[in-house]
Structure 1
Amino acid sequence: MLAKEVAFSQAERFLAEKSKEWGEGALRLDKENSFSDGDTLIALYDTIAYLDHGDEKQRLGGNMPIEVDMRTGTCRLLSFEEVLEYMNKGLIQ
């Protein structure tokens, strides 16, 4: 089982690669609002402008959180249905 900080490092690398594909630059994990669910870390992220300065105009919309398997370190984006399940549980706003 990976330590939480190692899982966050995996998510950071995954986000860096994905943000290149998306053409997005200044993104960062939102560790404060990320959470564990069993053997997975659900890592939320947003723009640095929003996270550091609260700039609502820079806030992402529709971004799917990153799931990190804490046994293997494998990362993937959650599906819309999975996000809805977490929203219904009150874990994602």
Structure 2
Amino acid sequence: MLDWKEALERASTFLADRSRSWASSNVRIVPEDCFIEAHRFIAPYDRIEFLDHGDRDSQLAGNLPISVDLTTGDCVFITWQDAEGFMDRGLL
């Protein structure tokens, strides 16, 4: 079972790998917005220009957080259905 720190590292590596081909690849996990739901670590992310400098024009919209399976360490982007459920409960 991964702990918080290990899950955050897995999510960060996954995001770095996936974002290399994106037009806006200057992104970072937002640790203070991460949470654990059942067996998953959920890791929202955004562009660094927004996170560090408050540049609202740089803020991402429609990006799905990363889910890290705490048992296997596998990473995927959450589904829209997952996102809606988390938003309904005030987690995202």
TM-score range, shorter chain: over 0.9
Unaligned runs of 5+ in 2: none
Question: Is 1:78 equivalent to 2:69 in the alignment?
Answer: no
Unaligned runs of 5+ in 1: none
Aligned residues: 92
Mapping for residues 40-59 of structure 1, pairs under 5 Å: 40-59=40-59
**Distance of 1:47 and 1:2 partners within structure 2:** 26
Taking only the aligned residue pairs, the percentage that are identical comes to 38
**Distance of 1:23 and 1:14 partners within structure 2:** 17
TM-score by length of 1: 0.94
- Secondary structure at 1:28's aligned position in 2? strand
**Distance of 2:64 and 2:37 partners within structure 1:** 16
- State the partner residue of 1:16: 16
State the 1:23 CA deviation.
Answer: 3.2
State the 1:21 CA deviation.
Answer: 2.8
- State the partner residue of 1:4: 4
TM-score by length of 2: 0.95
| Regions of 4+ moved over 4 Å | none
